[in-house]
A and B are shown apart, each in its own frame.
Chain A
């Protein structure tokens, strides 16, 4: 392996991005699921919120936040959390 490729292989990361509707924003999907649960006998489940999970591999982890801001999440309506998996 050439040195540059070797370095790149160390920098490469697997990451998981969790994207959620911001607090205070009505999430009708979550509400629909919440209302369906008692019909199955699951009582006492509240505040169901539904977001998105994005898994990715990146050659350079330093760009992850920027790509979340610009594409994966809309910061006006969504929060995101990056979990690096190594």
Chain B
């Protein structure tokens, strides 16, 4: 099981993401100018401020050469996890539904939150207990999940809302407390909280590791 962690100019969480992946499998960094993903079994798009968040967070990164390869990989059913800025990139690329708007409080947020597992049908939550809580940090300026009401209804009906902020803990005004969503097939997932910063009890919680472990456990052997 080999994870690839993308690296754009302005990424800043790729090292922690790499470390998280290495706890459950092999992992390597993938530079944004690469056009092939080689033999990777899963892709992680890490947090940060790709291309300085110019225009809109994630708007420029979606045009990076590596994103063509990610698009093909996702279309073939390969597991792709977008964390924070990675979530924003996947939404801008149209690989995930919705958009991330500036936090309703207009402040940069950095705090530990509880999120609830809503669906265990995605590549990164398979095997988790729906209703279980995970303690993971958020740290973002534009994390307010938005989609038109009809789209939100459809996402909920099809089980694509995979994580919600626990009751009373929605930090940014996200619609319906949504913290993470998947594509229709369930192989592409994005979330604003940072599971890669919660992989060791020494830092307060190892709950984030469960998402990486789920992907490793369900990877199709090459």
Binding site for B on A (CB under 8 A): 25-26, 28-29, 31-32, 52, 71-72, 74, 76-77
Indicate if the CB atoms of A25 and B101 lie closer than 8 Å. Answer: yes
Indicate if the CB atoms of A29 and B99 lie closer than 8 Å. Answer: no
Indicate if the CB atoms of B173 and A74 lie closer than 8 Å. Answer: no
Indicate if the CB atoms of B147 and A28 lie closer than 8 Å. Answer: no
Answer yes or no: B92 CB below 8 A from chain A CBs: yes
Shortest beta-carbon distance from A44 to chain B in Å: 23
Indicate if the CB atoms of A26 and B99 lie closer than 8 Å. Answer: no
Indicate if the CB atoms of A26 and B104 lie closer than 8 Å. Answer: yes
Indicate if the CB atoms of B59 and A29 lie closer than 8 Å. Answer: no
Interface size range on B against A: 10 to 19
Indicate if the CB atoms of A26 and B59 lie closer than 8 Å. Answer: no
User: What 1/0 flags go to B78-95 for Cβ under 8 Å of A?
Assistant: 000000000000001000
Q: A25-B146, A26-B173 are in contact. Are A74 and B104 (CB under 8 A)?
A: no
Question: Interface of chain B, helix or strand or loop or mixed?
Answer: loop
Instruction: Write the chain A residue with the least CB distance to B62.
Output: A71
Q: A25-B101, A26-B173 are in contact. Are A77 and B106 (CB under 8 A)?
A: no
Taken together as a complex, chains A and B put the C-alpha atoms of A29 and B144 apart, in Å, by 14
Indicate if the CB atoms of B106 and A28 lie closer than 8 Å. Answer: yes
Answer yes or no: B139 CB below 8 A from chain A CBs: no
Taken together as a complex, chains A and B put the C-alpha atoms of A29 and B175 apart, in Å, by 18
User: What 1/0 flags go to B187-208 for Cβ under 8 Å of A?
Assistant: 0000000000000000000000
Shortest beta-carbon distance from A31 to chain B in Å: 8
Report chain B residues within 8 Å CB of A52.
55
Instruction: Write the chain A residue with the least CB distance to B106.
Output: A28
User: What 1/0 flags go to B127-170 for Cβ under 8 Å of A?
Assistant: 00000000000000000101110000000000000000000000
Report chain A residues within 8 Å CB of B144.
26
Q: A74-B92, A76-B147, A77-B146 are in contact. Are A28 and B55 (CB under 8 A)?
A: no
